[in-house]
Amino acid sequence: MAEAAVSVRPEKPPRNWWLWGTALAFLVLMTWWSARGIGFSINELVCNIGGGRRLLQESWPPDFSFLPRLFAPFLETVQIAIIGTVVGAILAIPISVLAARNLTLGMFVWFVDRNFMNILRTLPDLFWAMLFATAVGFGPIAGALALTVFTIAVVSKLYSESLEAIDMGLTEAIRAAGGSWWQMVQYGALPQSLSQYVSYVLYGFELNIRASMILGLVGAGGIGMILETQRSNFEYERVTMIILVVLVAVLVIEQVSAVIRRRLT
């Protein structure tokens, strides 16, 4: 510690107050401008808070007698999510492989696939649900198709990035043994990234259960459709019950998938 006493300690550089001040002013101005734009006022909020309280009062307690009638639609929601996840997860594999720079078949294929993925991701799941509802009619099939696309979008984005991080030495060893492109992918790239893939698919399933509530709003089947009917009939105690069921389902799935993911790594 003796040397510390003689060493020259640098002065703490002064804080850049001007920069901090500008940033803060910018944030305040931006928020104020946005609030003006959407007609938001604290006064009105305080005056009307009673309305919100009334809604909450009407929504409580949850209507447990409604629970038995939720069983079938909830099952349908889970079924929609399962179909969407399984089909989407399988289709996501080739799309991810071709979007990974180290595995793809030439820059053209990569470019096309990458942009295809971007389009899938940019369009919201509600859009897909409406599109498929128009195509195959309102109901669970439209929901399952929408979730398939949604799963492809989520899984392929995450998985293609994992594939870009794999050890390419291994895939070279397969090429050196005379393996084809697909064999290099199947025996070299996919086994290395299997645990990430499973974890992304489980995450996709979680999102799909959540999304199935929203999809019901546009008539794509499942528990969301019941939610929409009860809401438009002002049956708020039933709405609370539905939200409670989905909440419990999401929590359970989250726990189960967390356990599976821990085992995998």
Partner 1 sequence: MNPSAGNSATGIRFRKARVVYPNGTVGMKDLDLEIKPGEFVVIVGSSGAGKSTLLRAINGLNPISDGTIEVGGRSVPQKESAELRRLRARIGMIFQDFRLVKRLTVMSNVLVGRLAHVPGWRAMLNLWPAHDKEIAFRALERVGIADKAWIKAGQLSGGQQQRVGIARALAQEPSIILADEPVASLDPVTSRQVMDDLVRINRELGITTLVNLHFLDLAQEYGQRIVGLRNGELVYDGTPDTVTEADFQRIYGRAVTEDDLKLSGESHG
The contact set with partner 1 (CB under 8 A) reads: 169-170, 172-180, 182-183, 186-188, 191-192, 194
Considering the complex, what minimum distance in angstroms separates the CB of residue 178 from partner 1? 3
Residues 6+ apart with CB under 8 A from 149: 88, 120, 125, 128
Q: Tell me whether residue 102 or residue 233 sits nearer to partner 1 (CB atom).
A: 102
Please report how close the Cβ of residue 203 comes to partner 1 at its closest, in angstroms: 21
Is the CB of 59 or the CB of 186 nearer to partner 1?
186
Q: What is the C-alpha separation between 89 and 166, in angstroms, rounded?
A: 20
**67 vs 173, beta carbon nearer partner 1:** 173
> How near is the Cβ of 174 to partner 1 at its closest, in Å?
6
Structure tokens at 213: 């509530």
Nearer to partner 1, 180 or 255 (CB): 180
> Following CA atoms 70, 75, 77, 83 in sequence, which dihedral angle do they give, to the nearest 10 degrees?
-170
Tell me how far the alpha carbon of residue 222 is from its chain's centroid.
19
Minimal distance in Å, beta carbon 197 to partner 1? 13
Which residues, 6+ apart, have CB-to-CB distance to 215 below 8 Å?
80, 125, 126, 129, 143, 146, 147, 221, 222, 224
Minimal distance, residue 173 CB to partner 1, in Å: 4
- Shortest Cβ distance from residue 183 to partner 1 (Å)? 5
- With respect to partner 1, which residue has the nearer C-beta, 24 or 105? 105
* 185 DSSP 8-state letter: I
Q: How far apart are CA 136 and CA 142, in angstroms?
A: 6
CB of 232 or CB of 265, closer to partner 1: 265
* CA dihedral sign, ordered 122, 124, 128, 131: negative
| Least gap, CB of 256 to partner 1 (angstroms) | 22
Please, which residue, 184 or 241, has the CB nearer to partner 1?
Answer: 184
Long-range (24+ apart) CB contacts under 8 A made by 259-263 are 260/198, 260/202, 261/195, 261/198, 261/199, 261/202
Half-sphere exposure (Cβ direction) of 99: Cα atoms closer than 13 Å: 23
